[in-house]
């Protein structure tokens, strides 16, 4: 349930209503727009009791029930889109933010050269895994803290921000020392302990959709992070499992308009993991930009043939550069900016 206050209601009116709701045993979440204040009520609600208890407040415009199980992530809970600022990088605004870099940090030379190249082409955020969730325990697992240090060095040299995956609640503090954005991987989308742990930090979280997760499950995972206190969640569609085997996953582009209808959170597409083939990454990225995405996360490697992971879906510097110039044109047509 949300309470929509009358236009231009005063702070003391809002406080009066909030304290009554709290008295009834519920938590509240305030969304203060330019003219409208929305008070979200969180908890296992007794609707009749709430309606009766709030009927006598003339400052209230109306009460609106929310059917969906996600509340803080719900579009109705907030009167504006969520915009996440990391210094001069703005996610969820007019800019489509490009995050790019290798699947995994492999060496100093690799990450620094990649950072410089993607920055030159127009990326704002450097990606690179230091903790890798590999299907086989015998595959390269990442450089761990050494990888985080290299990411930091590359970011300092280029001015890029960092997004990197955290896989274990015990590593949140360590990864948080280096990264600007935590990445929660598809395999961990429903690792609730991990979600709660990043939820008590104040860093943005890129939450990837699980490979068999519905939109509702994705939004409930976001709700875990938000209900722990951290409202800076970025949703990421990276392809889902279907019967099709040609592509690594099936990119669900319609997730963009569906999620835009359901939530105020920014949406990012990962065309690399979604397709699994470097030659399909461009088309997928172009489709995403045309459909209103807020950002893209793309794998780029100096020498994809020698990559320790995901080389087959990684772009060379020149291909990435060409793609970004094409994406810039499309973004203009849809009123956005890269």
Residues present in the chain in total:
338
> Which residue has its beta carbon closest to Mn ion?
103
Identify residues 300-329 at the interface with Mn ion (CB under 5 A). Answer: 310
Per partner kind, with CB cut-offs from 5 to 8 A, the member of ligand PEP, Mn ion, none near residue 199 is none
Q: How far is the CB of 270 from ligand PEP (least distance, A)?
A: 6
> If binding is defined by CB under 6 A, does position 238 make contact with ligand PEP?
yes
Please pick, from the candidates 17, 186, 259, 265, the single residue that binds ligand PEP as defined by CB under 6 A. 186
Task: Considering the complex, state which of residue 252 and residue 310 has its C-beta at the smaller distance from Mn ion.
Answer: 310
Q: Which residue has the tokens 């590593």?
A: 171
Binding span for ligand PEP by CB under 6 A among 73-81, 184-192, 195-203, 320-328? 184-192
Q: Are 298 and 315 in contact (CB under 8 A)?
A: yes
Residue 319 contact partner, candidates ligand PEP, Mn ion, none, CB within 5 to 8 A by sort of partner:
none
> Residues 5, 96, 103, 218: which binds ligand PEP (CB under 6 A)?
103
CB of 150 to ligand PEP, least distance (A): 16
Report the site for ligand PEP in 252-291 (rule: CB under 6 A): 270, 273
Contact letters for ligand PEP, residues 129-168 (x by CB under 6 A)? x---x-----------------------------------
Min. distance of Cβ 259 from ligand PEP in angstroms?
Answer: 16
Residue of 2, 96, 103, 213 interacting with Mn ion (CB under 5 A): 103
Does residue 208 touch ligand PEP according to CB under 6 A? yes
- Which one, 14 or 181, has the nearer CB to ligand PEP? 181
Max Cα-Cα span within the chain: 69
Binding-site size for Mn ion (CB under 5 A) equals 2
Minimum CB separation of residue 327 from ligand PEP in Å reads 19
CB-CB contact of 18 with 37 (8 Å):
no
CA distances from 37 to 12, 61, 65, 223 (A): 12, 10, 16, 21
The stretch among 47-55, 56-64, 145-153, 180-188 that binds ligand PEP (CB under 6 A) is 180-188
The minimum distance between CB 102 and Mn ion, in angstroms, equals: 8
Q: Which residues contact 296 (CB under 8 A, 6 or more apart)?
A: 96, 97, 98, 99, 100, 268, 269, 270, 271, 285, 288, 289, 327
Angle (deg, nearest 10), helices 11-23 and 47-54 = 140
Pairs from 183-190 (Cβ < 8 Å, separation ≥ 24): 183/127, 183/208, 184/208, 184/221, 185/133, 186/210, 186/211, 186/238, 186/273, 187/133, 187/211, 188/133, 189/213, 189/217, 189/218, 189/221, 190/217, 190/221
16 vs 48: CA distance, rounded Å: 20
Give the Cα separation of 284 and 287 in Å (integer). 5
**Does residue 270 belong to the site contacting Mn ion (CB under 5 A)?**
no
φ, ψ for residue 158, nearest 5 deg: -110, -20
In three state form, how does the secondary structure of 218-270 look? HHHHHHHHHHCCCCCEEEEECCECCCCCCCCCECCCCHHHHHHHHECCCEEEC
Residue 40 or 128 having the CB closest to ligand PEP: 128
- Minimal distance, residue 156 CB to Mn ion, in Å: 24
Among the listed ranges 30-38, 59-67, 179-187, 190-198, the one in contact with ligand PEP (CB under 6 A) is 179-187
Question: Where along the sequence are the contacts to ligand PEP (CB under 6 A)?
Answer: 103, 129, 133, 185-187, 208, 238, 270, 273
Question: Where along the sequence are the contacts to Mn ion (CB under 5 A)?
Answer: 103, 310
């Amino acid at each position: 349930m949300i309470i929509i206050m009358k236009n231009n209601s005063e702070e003391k009116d809002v406080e009066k209503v909030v304290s009554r709701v709290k008295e009834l045993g519920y938590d509240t979440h305030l969304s203060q727009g330019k003219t409208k204040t929305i008070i979200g009520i969180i908890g296992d609600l007794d609707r009749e009791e709430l309606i009766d208890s709030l009927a006598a407040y003339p400052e209230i415009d109306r009460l609106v029930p929310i059917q969906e199980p996600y509340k803080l992530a719900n579009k109705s809970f907030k009167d504006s889109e969520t915009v996440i600022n990391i210094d001069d990088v703005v996610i969820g605004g007019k800019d489509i933010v490009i995050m790019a870099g290798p699947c995994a940090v492999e060496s100093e030379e690799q990450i620094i050269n990649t950072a410089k190249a993607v920055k030159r082409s127009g990326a704002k955020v450097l990606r690179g895994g230091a903790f890798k969730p590999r299907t086989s325990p015998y595959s390269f697992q990442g450089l761990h803290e050494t990888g985080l240090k290299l990411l930091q060095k590359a970011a300092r040299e280029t001015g890029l921000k960092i997004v990197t995956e955290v896989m274990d609640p015990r590593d949140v503090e360590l990864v948080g020392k280096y990264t600007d954005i935590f990445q929660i991987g598809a395999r961990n989308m429903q690792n609730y302990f991990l979600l709660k742990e990043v939820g008590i930090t104040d860093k943005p979280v890129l939450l990837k959709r699980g490979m068999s997760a519905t939109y509702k499950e994705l939004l409930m995972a976001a709700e875990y992070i938000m209900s722990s206190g951290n409202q800076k969640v970025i949703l990421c569609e990276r392809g889902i499992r279907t019967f099709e085997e040609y592509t690594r996953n099936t990119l669900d582009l319609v997730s963009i308009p569906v999620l835009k209808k359901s939530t105020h959170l920014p949406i990012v597409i990962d065309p690399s993991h979604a397709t699994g083939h470097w030659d399909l990454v461009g088309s997928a990225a172009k489709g995403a930009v045309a459909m209103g995405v807020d950002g893209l996360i793309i794998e780029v490697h100096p020498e994809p043939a020698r990559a320790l992971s995901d080389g087959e879906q990684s772009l060379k510097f020149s291909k990435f550069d060409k793609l970004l110039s094409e994406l810039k044109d499309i973004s203009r047509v849809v009123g956005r900016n890269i």
